Structure 1
């Protein structure tokens, strides 16, 4: 039964958005803060002038509420996420993000107290001269601590940004630039801090009158025992609150684990392995706990289908998928017995078979890396094949067949590349091409249709050229489909290449077969036609049964006599 927690304002999707939004607010804060530090390379005065703009943004009531509210929300959700994890066995990057996130409050509480809190309570002047003097001259050990804090915050934030953006189509092309910025900004900030520290420690540096005045005000704070006692109480309260919250999460996890030991389910795998886990664990957590390799490109957030499993036992008796899982399964047209391992929490024993199985390192040849599961993307896939190829070549010499194939492959490759696609592979006399690896799904469909039209036209020219030498006319059939597919480097040993797998690829291949059955040049699925802007009134359509799909698929049939596909103009 679906609960309010799963569907309402506190759904997992809403909580994930709140965690992302609060994290982005803090990330913007640290970017501006480090940029302000970097101005210390210019001068102490330049950094302090920029500080006033920084404070105008964040020390007004709205900025204060936004920033500290984000800190509170983010920390609360991090602790909640730590509690919700049934297993602490996870990839190293996820572990690094969690550990850094828990260290950040311990590293920054003193800095927050020494700046914002004492300023708000006692009008302490926390300008760059005061803070840098404290961290560089008076207490250099705190300066080292703040350096570690800055790096911890920045690395934690960058990992989170990477997890958020890694499925965006443009991210691969921009990742090098973003990495350079991610390295350069903290380096400049630390160099700015060093330069300001060297300036203040220079005997020739002469303080301004305002500097003397601010130092007098700050000295009054330092000499006030009551103020220092109050600040010590606040410090103990903040450290104690965070430690108590963390201890509460640990105790709650321990209590739940003790309670669940008497209420476990067994997850059986095709290799004979059995992993017993407490009821409430996901299948993905069971695989990780049992040390079994199991793909999960999105980190177990239900945003991809690489962890999907086929249920080999009574799948209809399992808890139904929630809205997030339903959306992902619907996108890949999954069968009823296919579930996402990261979302399925079995309430009884079951048997599963992971549908994307990674190889173990021992099974790979020396000096090779494990093949990548890739990323799920919206792409267009084109399959083409030469009709009656066996009849055309059975009386030809082998070198004549090679000549014919090379001419044909040249036509296909040139058309695909000029349209903006990527030729994936040749399979006998057939070929597979991918579109949309670096563009939008709409543009990918237009590119695929353009490539298909060009291939048919050029093959007709080749057929006319070779008509006297071939026993049958040279004909090509093409099928195009669009949808989600896993795109990544796959293969074995040194024989690896970028390719795509998934239901979208299978359907495109079967549309090519349908083109043969319909005696058509090109068969295009309805999703391709809609995204490419094909005028439905000018193209014949029909519904066909595609093997492996429960429902008929509407397709558009382009006849051999007129293979020019009519596209609407871009709006």
Structure 2
């Protein structure tokens, strides 16, 4: 069973990699092709000079094999993915990507015939002057069709690229410039085509270039010989017919499978009372989508996240064992034996499930709100700080004086965190929580958090000296810092929404801030923070403290006030 699961996992991974690799080859091709179109903004001759380099890259035997191998591989795998889907109910983004992908062959077959195939069979010169003249002057309807094809191809490729990159930690840092490029490339390509069309349509253009080559091109067999026209017509019918046959074959195969599965169905029940009958072989996620039951699946049902996980309420021992991909995800989140990924679980009998991350139905949300994001897991650093003995400090002060003091305190904490490169998550009473590492490496985030802590310690001392005559006790700070994985997402309701972090890392950081008070020090950091930051801690006391929810004690470093204020000077 284990070897079978491993082979299946390897097969699916290989299929995904083949689809991604073929898609990337085609995306490189269209990026270079559209950039070549954009040279038309300079001149027709500039575009043709760029075309020579472009064709040298893609019309040699190796380039041809790579391009057309990628096209047929990608198309075959797309049709396969449509067939293996047990339900065609899917998120809008995936639907758009599939529909745009299926429209591409219909929009581009004639263009391929009129360029690559005509040149290969009849030595038709498919340079920019000839093709733009055909599309802009002779048959402008085909020109409009090519503009639509350009946009469809580009949008389809960008959606696929986004789905591939969206969970990379660095992607959010470059998504804005990538969006600008994604908009500029097709716009410049279309403007280049328009500029070349207007230039060629000018009467003066005929006197500026050697039109004899163009006239000779018009007399090729491709345009004049009825036998050649019949051959081209047969190729056109063959290509359109092959694509239509493949697509109809997938639809027919799905129909046959559905007819056979009608007699072999199971029932998926939900703790809320809903239930749905689906053919055996459907995943729990597909059953939820088919029933219209909101169900999170941030990775799109590929087993690469745990947001779709469900708890099985009955006979989970009899279910198919998780494959390698699902098992690795379940181990990562320390899931119990009765917890499975809905996208990977294909039950073989009736089951009752409870989605562990409950998604709100879109129609149930009031106006001007949106569904809360389940977030993504990141390696971050969490800093908690708090004023010690705050109740004693403020019990005899007027409310407006307390507000003044808190605002001064919040300002210095917020300034220290932002200057160090972090972000304030929230203020709670006289406490604050800050996050580091959302857009940087864990090592850099640890150093940033320590810089912020030192700055807070120094500024609190200055504020305490400034207000010494008004305060019954000097201001003293307690700070805790820990690093590790946490889910970072947008939480809240309506307009009261903010990006925050949840998870064990946050709880441990809060516990370290409490430990700073217990041991009468300004700063407590965990051993992972010290190791990643690379700071010198000679002479700093270390302890092992227990943290609720953790089986083993955690080694921490107790840093007194005087050393906390000068900490960055000793950092690596």
2:250 aligned counterpart, secondary structure: helix
Stretch of structure 1 that moved more, 163-172 or 14-23:
163-172
CA 185–536 in structure 1, closer or farther in 2 if over 3 Å, else same: same
- Alpha-carbon distance between aligned partners in 2 of 1:273 and 1:487, rounded to the nearest angstrom: 31
> Is contact 2:9–2:325 with CA below 8 Å preserved after alignment?
no
CA 520–264 in structure 1, closer or farther in 2 if over 3 Å, else same: farther
> Is contact 1:541–1:554 with CA below 8 Å preserved after alignment?
no
- Alpha-carbon distance between aligned partners in 1 of 2:270 and 2:289, rounded to the nearest angstrom: 13
Stretch of structure 1 that moved more, 206-215 or 248-257:
206-215
Query: 2:90 maps to what in 1?
Result: 90
Stretch of structure 1 that moved more, 163-172 or 426-435:
163-172
CA positional deviation for 1:468: 8.4
- 1:449-488 deviation digits (Å, cap 9, x = unpaired): 3223333444456567778877777554333333333333
- 1:298-349 deviation digits (Å, cap 9, x = unpaired): 3223333333334444555544443433444455455554443333333333
- 1:412-447 deviation digits (Å, cap 9, x = unpaired): 323212211111111223221111222223212221
1:27 aligned counterpart, secondary structure: helix
CA positional deviation for 1:154: 0.9
- Alpha-carbon distance between aligned partners in 2 of 1:304 and 1:67, rounded to the nearest angstrom: 32
Query: 2:53 maps to what in 1?
Result: 53
CA positional deviation for 1:87: 1.6
- Alpha-carbon distance between aligned partners in 1 of 2:33 and 2:411, rounded to the nearest angstrom: 55
Matched, 1:35 2:30: no
- 1:72-92 deviation digits (Å, cap 9, x = unpaired): 221122112212222211121
How do residues 90-129 of structure 1 correspond to structure 2 at under 5 angstroms? 90-129=90-129
Matched, 1:192 2:207: no
- Alpha-carbon distance between aligned partners in 2 of 1:221 and 1:282, rounded to the nearest angstrom: 52
Q: Which runs of 5+ in 1 are unaligned?
A: none
Query: 1:80 maps to what in 2?
Result: 80
CA 471–268 in structure 1, closer or farther in 2 if over 3 Å, else same: farther
Query: 1:373 maps to what in 2?
Result: 374
- Alpha-carbon distance between aligned partners in 2 of 1:533 and 1:215, rounded to the nearest angstrom: 70
CA positional deviation for 1:565: 5.2
Query: 2:549 maps to what in 1?
Result: 548
- Alpha-carbon distance between aligned partners in 2 of 1:567 and 1:214, rounded to the nearest angstrom: 77
Query: 1:240 maps to what in 2?
Result: 241
1:346 aligned counterpart, secondary structure: coil
2:220 aligned counterpart, secondary structure: helix
2:383 aligned counterpart, secondary structure: strand
- Alpha-carbon distance between aligned partners in 2 of 1:314 and 1:517, rounded to the nearest angstrom: 48
CA positional deviation for 1:411: 3.7
> Is contact 1:535–1:566 with CA below 8 Å preserved after alignment?
no
CA 559–531 in structure 1, closer or farther in 2 if over 3 Å, else same: closer
> Is contact 1:4–1:10 with CA below 8 Å preserved after alignment?
no
- Alpha-carbon distance between aligned partners in 2 of 1:178 and 1:375, rounded to the nearest angstrom: 21
Aligned length: 568
CA 27–239 in structure 1, closer or farther in 2 if over 3 Å, else same: same
> Is contact 2:311–2:340 with CA below 8 Å preserved after alignment?
yes
- Alpha-carbon distance between aligned partners in 2 of 1:517 and 1:67, rounded to the nearest angstrom: 66
- Alpha-carbon distance between aligned partners in 1 of 2:317 and 2:472, rounded to the nearest angstrom: 55
TM-score, scaled relative to structure 2: 0.87
CA positional deviation for 1:95: 0.6
Query: 2:213 maps to what in 1?
Result: 211
CA 191–465 in structure 1, closer or farther in 2 if over 3 Å, else same: closer
Stretch of structure 1 that moved more, 52-61 or 481-490:
481-490
CA 559–442 in structure 1, closer or farther in 2 if over 3 Å, else same: closer
2:379 aligned counterpart, secondary structure: strand
- Alpha-carbon distance between aligned partners in 2 of 1:177 and 1:518, rounded to the nearest angstrom: 48
CA 176–473 in structure 1, closer or farther in 2 if over 3 Å, else same: closer
- 1:104-132 deviation digits (Å, cap 9, x = unpaired): 11211221122112222232211122222
Query: 1:441 maps to what in 2?
Result: 442
Query: 2:253 maps to what in 1?
Result: 252
RMSD: 3.3
> Is contact 1:7–1:323 with CA below 8 Å preserved after alignment?
no
CA 42–12 in structure 1, closer or farther in 2 if over 3 Å, else same: same
CA 170–455 in structure 1, closer or farther in 2 if over 3 Å, else same: same
> Is contact 2:130–2:214 with CA below 8 Å preserved after alignment?
no
How do residues 393-432 of structure 1 correspond to structure 2 at under 5 angstroms? 393-394=394-395, 397-399=398-400, 401-432=402-433
- 1:22-80 deviation digits (Å, cap 9, x = unpaired): 21211111111112222223222222221111101111111111111111221122112
- Alpha-carbon distance between aligned partners in 2 of 1:260 and 1:491, rounded to the nearest angstrom: 43
1:486 aligned counterpart, secondary structure: strand
CA 560–539 in structure 1, closer or farther in 2 if over 3 Å, else same: closer
1:119 aligned counterpart, secondary structure: helix
How do residues 53-72 of structure 1 correspond to structure 2 at under 5 angstroms? 53-72=53-72
> Is contact 1:6–1:12 with CA below 8 Å preserved after alignment?
no
Query: 2:156 maps to what in 1?
Result: 156
CA 19–318 in structure 1, closer or farther in 2 if over 3 Å, else same: same
CA 309–452 in structure 1, closer or farther in 2 if over 3 Å, else same: farther
Stretch of structure 1 that moved more, 520-529 or 446-455:
520-529
How do residues 309-320 of structure 1 correspond to structure 2 at under 5 angstroms? 309-313=310-314, 315=316, 317-320=318-321
CA positional deviation for 1:15: 2.6
- Alpha-carbon distance between aligned partners in 1 of 2:280 and 2:567, rounded to the nearest angstrom: 55
How do residues 165-176 of structure 1 correspond to structure 2 at under 5 angstroms? 165-176=165-176
- Alpha-carbon distance between aligned partners in 1 of 2:382 and 2:76, rounded to the nearest angstrom: 44
CA positional deviation for 1:160: 1.3
- Alpha-carbon distance between aligned partners in 1 of 2:434 and 2:544, rounded to the nearest angstrom: 24
